[in-house]
Structure 1
């Protein structure tokens, strides 16, 4: 099929998907009108042709990412491909427009593993984990309010680290908000260290330390805790709350996002050919596919030849971002910051400069 359509794996456009499905413009438009989104957007062969060729499509809904986002799933069903392939092809075809906005995944019931992790904790550990989760939510709300007010916001990797204790007498430095929460539940300081370290050994929280300047005692050590994705899932399960939804299908896993970040952070020079190997290429490298007969990769990175002086021969190959790879990072950077706060992309993770 690649030879017949002339499209390399990981470089498909919208017209390539239609050709691969063996559909004419009229037939594809007719099938799309069977869906509510197709009728809402008044899909026709003329509009579909304009969409595929990067031309403006008549009608105000076509300029609204929320409206065009409703068409991604019908296109995937008509062409017989995953939604992420349609979204990637759309962004390649129309690189100068905002990507269609896809709705987020719905919360799901707690997994058996998360519930088992919660039930393995004693009562004190459960109280700690539950209050850490509640404090994390409160900080998340405060950060959201700052964003609404266009105030500077630190990276999630910073604000998700919650102050647990100050290494000084409470009579001098007081209690942290998290300590106040625990005290209200009848849990006091003795035993805090062993409790949080027991949670850390189970992979439910991360514990770290830093120093701050307190007006009463000067420089003082501080213990910080951060709830992990596993810990959040366990607490939600134990508190009978819906678990966090899995990342939407059009986004990358933490592993693949980390690989893409490595290439992005390498800058224009990219990574050496031997610095990016393994299974990740089958998911994000141009020319690859997930398995024999499987879906093409997303085409976010490509192996680019670097010529020797005088252009006499290829000196080496280096992995660099494709145009779609750059688009994907820019379009979904904020979402990835929330999902995977420990994975940084240089130039995208700096706090905004305060307005003068």
Structure 2
């Protein structure tokens, strides 16, 4: 389906100018055009070019999407180019400076055809490896993440094969992390390693709680691991970390100096809080938290490769879990009440994680359910968008690999089972 170029809503432009307290002459001076052209734009007789559209948004203190009425999570390739303030001629000229642009024989005409979903001549334009490279290059050119360009590409060209995006490889430890590990003595290395293992165990426990829809405290709380209670062990026992260190033969009166040595090196943070115990009242408790530097040093020393995480174009585990819940809901969709928290801001059409941030992925949307007599909306339910269904079918096999604990949908043609 061909995509129209962006159109500015004349009424919205007039309203935004009024809200900014500007008359047509003042706005024209800020944009670098004539008063008559502003009047033409506000009358709908002309549409601003990409460069003027970006200047117009800047002058009015709004986004390009605010002028065009484009809902977050529905952006096309043309939207991204206009938001960057680039004409097809200028964008093509920049792309031709690179080897990729020369290989693809990029031109303004080809960019317009790309944005409108038209057929492009040349086998490289049909090769996922080459189009994947172009997605990454356009992300640099437009100043947005690769995932934003990929999503816009699939909206603009829904019948094309998806561009091939690279998987992150396992990263070797950095020299700095190896150096920090090398500066520790044997005892400190054991402590750091056990703290990392306890951190991972706690993370797994939090994952299980989420899977069973139980309350989960913020990571800033549960990553503070109980190390010791300032009370006799025969009354309060040992913490899990103490038991692990006792099993390694290094839990003794030297625990305090060891912890503080790790803290001075920036590998852990040590603090105290209070915990209420039945019959004993409030007891001071020492807690430790592994820093990012400490985690990297422990992985380096224990020969554990750094986790590359999900590829840029894929979702984090908790967002993928949200998608699976909607898939599991089937054609009825997921009730509004069962999807709370921040997930919609990252996934839903019309949402953004932050006012100045990039739009959501646009994988899910609210769909109204009408009453039986059709007089009013009874409720709203979450469903996958076309792009959301495409994403699930396209990348389910990769999600199986990176999130093996999560049940995922079968590959192949399963759109009828996905909302």
TM-score band, normalised by shorter chain: 0.5 to 0.7
Name the residue aligned to 1:157: none
Give matches, 1:48-63, under 5 Å: 48-63=111-126
Report the 3-state secondary structure (helix = DSSP H, G, I; strand = E; otherwise coil) of the residue aligned with 1:310: coil
Structure 1 residue 313 corresponds to structure 2 residue 376: yes
Give matches, 1:161-310, under 5 Å: 237-238=300-301, 240=303, 242-310=305-373
Name the residue aligned to 1:22: 85
TM-score for the superposition, normalised by structure 2: 0.53
| Count of residue pairs the alignment pairs up | 247
Name the residue aligned to 1:99: 162
Q: Please give the per-residue CA displacement for 1:243-286, whole angstroms capped at 9, x wherever unaligned.
A: 34222111111111111111111111110111111111111111
Structure 2: distance between partners of 1:89 and 1:280: 20
Q: Is the 8 A contact 1:5 1:20 kept in 2?
A: no
Structure 2: distance between partners of 1:63 and 1:11: 24
> CA distance change for structure 1 residues 311 and 258 in 2, over 3 Å: closer, same or farther?
same
CA RMSD of the aligned region, Å?
A: 3.2
Name the residue aligned to 1:339: 402
Structure 1 residue 36 corresponds to structure 2 residue 99: yes
Structure 2: distance between partners of 1:276 and 1:243: 32
Name the residue aligned to 1:213: none
Q: Is the 8 A contact 1:35 1:74 kept in 2?
A: no
Report the 3-state secondary structure (helix = DSSP H, G, I; strand = E; otherwise coil) of the residue aligned with 1:338: helix
> CA distance change for structure 1 residues 59 and 339 in 2, over 3 Å: closer, same or farther?
same
CA apart distance, 1:122: 12
Structure 2: distance between partners of 1:86 and 1:242: 30
Moved over 6 A (4+): 233-236
> CA distance change for structure 1 residues 97 and 120 in 2, over 3 Å: closer, same or farther?
farther
CA apart distance, 1:34: 2.0
Report the 3-state secondary structure (helix = DSSP H, G, I; strand = E; otherwise coil) of the residue aligned with 2:144: coil
For structure 2, the 5+ residue unaligned runs are 1-63, 198-242, 249-295, 413-419
CA apart distance, 1:35: 2.4
Q: Is the 8 A contact 2:84 2:143 kept in 1?
A: yes
**Which one has more relative contact order, counting CA pairs under 8 Å at least 6 apart?**
1
Structure 1: distance between partners of 2:395 and 2:297: 27
Which structure has the greater CA radius of gyration?
2
CA apart distance, 1:37: 1.7
Q: Is the 8 A contact 1:265 1:345 kept in 2?
A: no
> CA distance change for structure 1 residues 32 and 5 in 2, over 3 Å: closer, same or farther?
farther
Q: Is the 8 A contact 1:5 1:16 kept in 2?
A: no
TM-score for the superposition, normalised by structure 1: 0.62
Q: Please give the per-residue CA displacement for 1:99-139, whole angstroms capped at 9, x wherever unaligned.
A: 111122243244869x79x943899x9xxx9xxxxxxxxxx
Q: Is the 8 A contact 2:400 2:408 kept in 1?
A: no
Q: Please give the per-residue CA displacement for 1:279-335, whole angstroms capped at 9, x wherever unaligned.
A: 111111111111121111111111111111232111110000011111111111111
CA apart distance, 1:16: 1.0
Name the residue aligned to 1:211: none
For structure 1, the 5+ residue unaligned runs are 130-193, 200-232, 350-356
Structure 1: distance between partners of 2:135 and 2:302: 36
